[in-house]
Structure 1
Amino acid sequence: MARTMKVAIVDDEADMRQSISQWLALSGFDTETYGSAEDALKGIGPDFPGVVVSDIKMPGMDGMALLKKLMGQDSGLPVILITGHGDVPMAVEAMRVGAFDFLEKPFNPDRMTELAKRATQVRRQTLDNRALRRELADGSQMMKKLIGTSTVMDRLREDILDLGQADSHVLIDGETGTGKTLVAHALHAVGPRAGKKFVTISCAAWSEDQLTQRVFGPTEDGSIPLIEEARGGTLCLEDIEALSSALQARLLTVINEQGTPPETRIIAICNEHAPDKTVEDALRPDLYYRIGAMKITLPPLRMRGEDILALFTRLSEEFAEEYGCDAPQVTAQEAAQLLQAPWPGNVRQLVNIAERAVLQNRRGSGSIASLLMADNEAAGPVLTTEGKPLKEHVDSFERMLIDNTMRRHKGSIVAVMEELCLPRRTLNEKMAKYGLSRSDYV
């Protein structure tokens, strides 16, 4: 769901403030008005969730001075200025200072609406990008994205914390769709380089000449090579196996020339190699031993046990909220099918299944089983894990059922006891067994 963007209207003339506000409100905007630039500065701070429309000619602080103040505290805030006929040269200067655009009086209200829409789209993208950067720089938030209580996920989180603090080059390997890029971000976020630049490039997306320029320089357009842009931070090389032998040698030279700790940390991601080969076979031995000494191999989804059900529940709830409908209720048979599926596309495939299950549920048709069958038929034959004991399936389904019920009742123990027909002591014992805490749902 897109957030509602505000439009702050600044004008010393009450009639003009009111007419602009009414027109934009009719166009679907959330408006707020200020009679002076001084008042506007009290209500508009950094990360203001919207845009500003201001007259230039005002007593006291004028629109140009307001623009400079706003740009000083948030250069990404779109400011639209309203000018008189003789103020156009000033408006042009305002554009140089950082104004989004300007309107000359008398202006067409539809033009105002058009500019406000464009400005709010730009603002929304700016705020989303800021939120993403903050999230990627927050180690605790990144670790929360690595959902799962299985042994392999506990080990993965421990490896990330250990290798993140080690601040050495790291090689990440694993099947497609297991979340290797997320782990790369987490390694950066939990280490001493958190808050510094995290620069990423896919080695498979560029020709050898283009890759040489973009990573090592010199670039044709005069931009900074990525190895320099990431100095002090992390350079993430996705599809490292796509590097030619010559570029692998060039990368090795750069790594050897760096001190300890390295000026630029390299996190290399291997996304695909021949079925009968390993990542070690895909790289020069000397490069492999420089970046592969610290290595993380991500577990495939089919090896993560009841994490599959926890992930499916979380994802389906998020999609249900996005689409404004109920999440599908998973039956015991469907839970077993989710646990036994081969998941050739791993977490990425699970995300797609969860979204399609929510859309099916909104229409009131289809089943999770049919989605799994169609996906696996399209993927072709795959290797599956050995069958699990019945008790493991029962425990996984029981945990999912209690978890779902606790979420639905927002942690109300009494309501959960009544729905599941469980005495309080039994419910407490099962929640302790499965690592569930009431505080997580309140």
Structure 2
Amino acid sequence: MARAMKVAIVDDEQDMRQSISQWLALSGFDTEAFGSAEDALKVIGPDFPGVVVSDIKMPGMDGMTFLKRLLSMDSSMPVIMITGHGDVPMAVEAMRLGAYDFLEKPFNPDRMTELAKRATQTRKLTLDNRALRRELSDGTVLMRKLIGSSGVMERLREDILDLGQADGHVLIDGETGTGKTLVAHALHAVGPRAGRKFVSISCAAYAEDALATRLFGPTEEGTGLPLVEEARGGTLCLEDVEALSQGLQARLLTFINDQGMPAETRIIAICNEHAPEKTVEDSLRPDLFYRLAALKITLPPLRTRGEDILTLFTRLTEQFAEEYGCAAPQLTAQEAAQLLQAPWPGNVRQLVNVAERAVLQNRRGTGSIASLLMADDDSPQPAITTEGKPLKEYVDAFERMLIDNTMRRHKGSIVAVMEELCLPRRTLNEKMAKYGLSRADYV
């Protein structure tokens, strides 16, 4: 189940901190009480996964000094101050300094719960955004997100590492939902510009005049730099590059040519053009296309990735099961074959939706994988591919998934896996070697 957010309660009066702690614990919070600000600071750090409730008047370090210390450590940490009667001016000053809110004694416990809920929601959003920013600047983390052991994924990771180190502009192509934005971030994060800005814009989200201003300026006073200036020295990512008008394509080409070689700002262009029999080359003027496509990556569609489909589905259902506080569905051989045969027009994005709904329907004890795939298919025909595959491919993919799932569930315990799957040790070792599975990855 998802872990409850923490609430640190700081008050020199034992009865007060115990009563607050008990009340918030009954409301579902993970509480920890401290008798002084000094003790609390030994535990609370910049990424403290929760909020702080503190009295203002305390011996030693008082609440105002404590608030300043917390906010100097992490300016976005929500701190709820508790004041005595007549201390409202001090509470107002605390709010001016950056406190989240304050409560005046005696306070309504329900009001405390309401404030704590809002503060923890704010804190969770802050920490999630912070973690996302870290992930998007960490090439190792991003490369781990490109899950899959299929040949096409191995080649994709190699291409990212190679092109990331190169300094030319890059064009990313591929069907919708294949992860083109993630690859763009990875290219930036594994290259020499990793510590510099990554600036992204969807060219399809703006009218032509607004897009021209946003990209090249002049911007209105107080609205920031145009993106070509903001990204200077780093990476400018143009999503939906095919939506650029001829006039803006000409301006972009001029910008690229004026930079010379090596380019001061790297352009990563993402194409989302999927009209029948039309490519990005048909949408861009030839001179711009060849400047952008000097380095090109085409992402593989999910239907070509074989057993990666089962690996991704399992990881996703486990994540959603933890989020919803329930068990992840266990695939049968028939359901695994249905996932492998599905055409996946929405690719990984569609697989994410199917995995989440599979968890929800498993929690209700109803539905099937086949019904989810049919619901995602616009055609009246069953949601399977027209390309047949040898039976051995389905058997191997399902067998690998079973061993992988069981190893992770037992945290790499070979004995437990042998017992559950009724396999002798030698056979299990042979199959793990065959499928590229290592016990060290599960311990």
TM-score when scaled to structure 2? 0.90
Query: 1:344–1:382: 8 Å Cα contact kept in structure 2?
Result: no
Counterpart of 1:354? 355
Q: Does 1:79 align with 2:86?
A: no
Counterpart of 1:426? 427
Query: 2:341–2:384: 8 Å Cα contact kept in structure 1?
Result: no
**Corresponding pairs, count:** 442
Counterpart of 2:333? 332
Task: Look up the equivalent residue of 1:100 and give its one-letter code.
Answer: Y
Counterpart of 1:248? 249
Q: 1:2 offset after TM fit, Å?
A: 4.6
**Any idea what the Cα deviations from partners look like across 1:275-309, whole Å, max 9, x if unmatched?**
21211111122221222111110011111122122
List aligned pairs for 1:39-438, cutoff 5 A.
Answer: 39-84=39-84, 86-220=86-220, 222-224=222-224, 225-258=226-259, 260-378=261-379, 384=385, 386-438=387-439
* Matches of 2:167 and 2:107, distance apart in 1: 57
Q: 1:222 offset after TM fit, Å?
A: 2.0
Query: 1:273–1:282: 8 Å Cα contact kept in structure 2?
Result: no
* Matches of 1:121 and 1:337, distance apart in 2: 39
Q: 1:241 offset after TM fit, Å?
A: 0.9
Q: 1:381 offset after TM fit, Å?
A: 10
Query: 1:8–1:51: 8 Å Cα contact kept in structure 2?
Result: yes
**Any idea what the Cα deviations from partners look like across 1:415-442, whole Å, max 9, x if unmatched?**
4334444333232222111111122223
- What SS class does the counterpart of residue 330 from structure 1 fall into? coil
**Any idea what the Cα deviations from partners look like across 1:299-321, whole Å, max 9, x if unmatched?**
11111122122222222233333
Query: 1:312–1:350: 8 Å Cα contact kept in structure 2?
Result: yes
**Any idea what the Cα deviations from partners look like across 1:75-129, whole Å, max 9, x if unmatched?**
1111222345554444333333222223344544433333222221111111111
Query: 2:172–2:269: 8 Å Cα contact kept in structure 1?
Result: yes
* Matches of 2:293 and 2:210, distance apart in 1: 25
* Matches of 1:107 and 1:324, distance apart in 2: 33
* Matches of 2:349 and 2:108, distance apart in 1: 48
- What SS class does the counterpart of residue 154 from structure 2 fall into? helix
* Matches of 1:140 and 1:391, distance apart in 2: 34
**Any idea what the Cα deviations from partners look like across 1:174-233, whole Å, max 9, x if unmatched?**
001111111112112212222433332211122122222333333336222333333333
Task: Look up the equivalent residue of 1:243 and give its one-letter code.
Answer: L
- What SS class does the counterpart of residue 61 from structure 1 fall into? coil
* Matches of 1:273 and 1:230, distance apart in 2: 28
- What SS class does the counterpart of residue 232 from structure 2 fall into? coil
Query: 2:196–2:233: 8 Å Cα contact kept in structure 1?
Result: yes
Which residues of structure 2 form unaligned runs of 5+? none
Q: Which moved more, 1:204-213 or 1:430-439?
A: 204-213
* Matches of 2:232 and 2:378, distance apart in 1: 46
- Going from structure 1 to structure 2, the CA distance change for 1:105 and 1:315 (only over 3 Å counts) comes to closer
- What SS class does the counterpart of residue 231 from structure 1 fall into? coil
- What SS class does the counterpart of residue 43 from structure 1 fall into? coil
Percent same amino acid among aligned pairs?
84
* Matches of 1:289 and 1:381, distance apart in 2: 41
- Going from structure 1 to structure 2, the CA distance change for 1:231 and 1:379 (only over 3 Å counts) comes to farther
* Matches of 1:383 and 1:370, distance apart in 2: 12
Q: 1:234 offset after TM fit, Å?
A: 2.4
Task: Look up the equivalent residue of 2:197 and give its one-letter code.
Answer: K
* Matches of 1:332 and 1:27, distance apart in 2: 43
Task: Look up the equivalent residue of 2:130 and give its one-letter code.
Answer: R
Query: 1:91–1:102: 8 Å Cα contact kept in structure 2?
Result: yes
Task: Look up the equivalent residue of 1:296 and give its one-letter code.
Answer: I
- What SS class does the counterpart of residue 9 from structure 1 fall into? strand
Query: 1:305–1:339: 8 Å Cα contact kept in structure 2?
Result: yes
Q: Which moved more, 1:43-52 or 1:316-325?
A: 316-325
* Matches of 2:9 and 2:43, distance apart in 1: 11
**Any idea what the Cα deviations from partners look like across 1:238-278, whole Å, max 9, x if unmatched?**
11111111222222232233354433322211112422121
Which residues of structure 1 form unaligned runs of 5+? none
- Going from structure 1 to structure 2, the CA distance change for 1:3 and 1:244 (only over 3 Å counts) comes to farther
- Going from structure 1 to structure 2, the CA distance change for 1:94 and 1:161 (only over 3 Å counts) comes to same
- Going from structure 1 to structure 2, the CA distance change for 1:12 and 1:354 (only over 3 Å counts) comes to closer
Query: 2:342–2:383: 8 Å Cα contact kept in structure 1?
Result: no
RMSD: 2.7
Task: Look up the equivalent residue of 2:7 and give its one-letter code.
Answer: V
